[in-house]
Structure 1
Amino acid sequence: MTKSKTVAAWLAFLGGPFGLHRFYLHGAGDWLGWLLPVPTLVGAYGVLRMWSLGQNDPLSWVLTPVLGFTFAGCCLTAIVYGLKKPEDWNGRFNPGQSPDAKPGRTNWGTVWAIVLALMIGAGVLMASIAISFQGYFNQQVEEGRRISQ
């Protein structure tokens, strides 16, 4: 079965946190594909805690960025897949085909996957870093107030 670079990039962008791109490229036995939902669900639990308990919950500001970092990593994977040269892609994932076979070529679908992964992935990464630092500094300020009293 041939593996399309465009499909892999979109799967990494849209379903990467659940390992869909790994299953597409390496099959259902891929252990990393089965591990990817773990940080996704841990981060989603942090988001739910933050919504219900607020931003002052220390566990939520530790767990919430895990979701963002996982998604940003999958966006980076989509970018790497999309930017691979056709001969490298086909050599690795379609070894029986010519180096310039169609599944490894870049088309407009690939370009849009790269652009969206870059835009949204960078935004999610920055938001994740901001949430984790905000929670950390808020906790430090509260600790400083407790010590000064």
Structure 2
Amino acid sequence: MTPFDQGAGFALQAAIVAHLKADAGLKALIGDPPRVVDGPSRERVYPFVSYDDARETPLGPAPGHVEHDIRLSVHSRYEGRREAKEIATAIVSALNEAPLNLAGRRLVSLRAVYSDVFHRLETDAHQGVIRFRAVTEAI
């Protein structure tokens, strides 16, 4: 695998989005059908979750092993940070070590490594950022 082969990243993104959209706890917080979008949403129906930056890096000398650095964002207009934190907590609960099925790959691990919630003045909304680290291998 070369650093320019994005197949592993696309497979992981599809599995993560499908898993989040199927999670009952997350649906209760962001609506049904759940508002999980690829990048910033133009529709601006709050709250919603966006799949943001993702980076794939070949891992060690073993061919087909890839490390993924993934960022998901929570967007909320609720007064205060509570709603954004509840949604971020539900995302971490749904994804940490989740048994995701990836097309052509096996998920070795998936863990949240960072989380933050802050106020964005330009949108008058709160944003939560959750960073995940994943490792996949070719099958």
Q: TM-score, normalised by structure 1?
A: 0.32
Query: Higher helix proportion, which one?
Result: 1
Q: TM-score, normalised by structure 2?
A: 0.34
| Structure possessing the higher radius of gyration over alpha carbons | 1
Q: Which has the higher contact order (CA 8 A, sep 6+)?
A: 1
